[in-house]
Amino acid sequence: MLHGTAASDGIGIGRVMLVEEHSLEYTHKTTEDTEEELQRFKNAVSIFCDNTAAQADALRKSAGDKEAEILEGHIQIIKDPYLSGEIEKLIANGQCAEAALEHMCDMFISMFSSADDELTNQRAADVKDIKTGILSILLGINEVKICAAPKGTVIVAKELTPSMTAGINKENIVGIITETGGKTSHSAILARALEIPAVLSVNGATTKLSAGEMVITDGCEGIVIASPDENLIQAYTTKQNAVLKQRRELEKFRGIATKSKSGETYELFCNIGNQDDAIKAIEHDGEGAGLFRTEFLFMDRNSVPTEEEQFNAYKKAALILKNKPLIIRTLDIGGDKALPYLGLKKEENPFMGFRAIRYCLKNQDLFKTQLRAILRASSFGDIKVMFPLVTAIDEFRAGKQLINELKTELKKSKILFDENIKIGVMMETASAAVIADTLAKEADFFSIGTNDLIGYTMACDRGNNEVSNLYSAFQPSVLRLIKYIIDCGTKNNIPVGMCGETASNEMMIPLLISFGLTEFSVSAPSVLKVRKAISKWTKSDADNVADKVMQMATEKEVSDYLKTIIR
């Protein structure tokens, strides 16, 4: 039995198809005929873009528009003037096309990989996919194709790239197993869109599993069973049928209010990364967008987006949501999420460095441009603005003051905006949690970002295997901070939401109901699952669970107990 990350629900029973990676080694040489080398690179890019466009069309038919846009984004990235321009400069200086491509792609891969959230990490996977695709063309290597896989196939690969999935026939592929990827990686997103069970980050999968071997892929528990006997196959076939039944039952929760068993009503929002993700939020029955990560508007380009570009993005999201709440987080960039055109200095400890609200307050032209775009868009829907990484009330006051100044400017220019726009704090640092009572007197709302709150509270990096065991929302210290934040919000009559991964964890839901959370913001595919989970609890039952949990001393005690009471 092998263990990994449960990335796409379901049970897949079939035979292994190993997807082997070709060697992309080449001789690093200088070139004298730079014009010829430059043309060779341009020809490879042209072929890559044509191939990718065809793959996107195939993926649109099998998975949908949003999934196809992942591949279409690859074309935009390689055509980005900064990236392609720098590669061409290196070729003009004598580097071969392969070396120039690899140098620039590796720089972007390193930049995106160092970020503290998986959505940004996905960009690294995108650039790696692009590098592999163009290098293969330059070296005359045929790309891996899995479109000919027979029925009952379980794909096993080191990494499942978007370009590889384009040829998947979901009628034939019953499972996906990879050695890399997390729940929000493109591999996971595509697997869920295709409704194929997937287990990712299975260490050594390509060497421990053999081609043609029967295997069970348990995408619910993150388990892979090689060469199962008949009894196991029968047991998992029964489980497979139960999962399909559960999916059908979830549809009963579409189009209804999000309520607990005792009648308390909650808001159930979606986290989005761009204006088009608002469509996915509506499609999955989200009641709004609890987190718009605006940094994605600033990526894959060589300059800061203009006020008009930002205004149109925020306006489009607001119009799609049709007056449902849209909480826009201001630029969360800098330090570990550096962009080449911003010219940020490399920091020894970027997680505690010059980023987010700190960066914006010292770069007020950029910050004002974004805030003005948000204010202008606020006349088209129920938009709220939220500041990230607040550690002291001075930062919140400074951001609020800038908004007030811009309101005055817009009034003078007779430009419409919501004069009563709500301004909130993303509670993701221990320092903000400790002064939640003070912040709650001046903020209009709180949204708890558990991904960073856990890391900063436990002083651990979830990507570091040596300390990742400490990274858990069920740590008593983290639970106490979450409860205190919500208590402070409740006492000051401001809504408190949660937009981190923890908001969709079924084990956490009774605690959040008991603590008094008013809003859950989750990934779009999790909406119905979370709505169903909330419906199972009365407030009094949730209070009984929380009373016991808050007396426990260790993470293990908490998680072990919560596993026993999940409904």
> How far, CA to CA in Å, does 320 sit from each of 282, 287, 377, 393, 422?
8, 12, 13, 34, 20
The per-type count for the chain, helices as H runs and strands as E runs, is 22, 17
Pairing of strands 422-427, 445-448: parallel
Whether 389 and 367 have beta carbons less than 8 Å apart is answered as no
* Residue 376, φ and ψ in degrees, nearest 5: -60, -40
Of these residues, 96, 105, 460, 499, which one is catalytic?
499
C-alpha dihedral sign at 244, 266, 550, 183: positive
Do 289 and 317 meet the contact criterion of CB atoms below 8 Å apart? yes
CB 182 within 8 A of CB 4: no
Which tokens go with 52? 């990718």
Say which residues have a Cβ less than 8 Å from residue 348's Cβ, sequence separation at least 6.
none
Residue the block writes with tokens 């006051």 = 397
Active site residue 460: no
- CA 11, CA 245: separation in Å to the nearest integer? 12
Residue type, 78: I
Residue 231 structure tokens: 């009894």
Strand pairing report for 265-272 and 289-293: parallel
Asked if residue 197 lies in contact with residue 170, where contact means CB atoms within 8 angstroms, the answer is: no
User: For residues 221 and 236, what is the distance between their CA atoms, to the nearest angstrom?
Assistant: 12
Q: Which of 281, 70, 280, 105 is nearest to 185 (CA)?
A: 70
Whole-number Cα distances in Å, 473 to 351, 449, 457, 503: 19, 11, 10, 10
- How far is it, in rounded angstroms, from Cα 464 to Cα 471? 10
Beta carbons within 8 Å of 43's beta carbon, 6+ residues apart: none
What the block records as the tokens of 79 is 């055509």
What length is written for the chain?
Answer: 567
Catalytic option among 49, 74, 105, 186:
186
Question: Residue 542, CB half-sphere, CA atoms under 13 Å: how many?
Answer: 23
Q: Return d(Cα 451, Cα 523) in angstroms, integer.
A: 14
What single string gives the DSSP state of each residue in 381-392? Answer: S-EEEEESS--S
Strands 223-226 and 289-293: unpaired
- Evaluate whether 41 touches 101 at the Cβ level (below 8 Å): yes
Two tokens, residue 223? 């388990």
Separation of alpha carbons 158 and 170, rounded Å: 20
Rounded Cα distance between 143 and 185, Å, is 21
Q: Tell me the two tokens of residue 232.
A: 């196991």
Angle, to 10 degrees, between the axis of helix 555-565 and the axis of helix 539-549?
A: 150
Is residue 499 annotated as a catalytic residue, yes or no?
yes
How many other β-carbons are positioned within 10 Å of the β-carbon of residue 231? Answer: 8
Give the catalytic positions in this structure: 186, 499
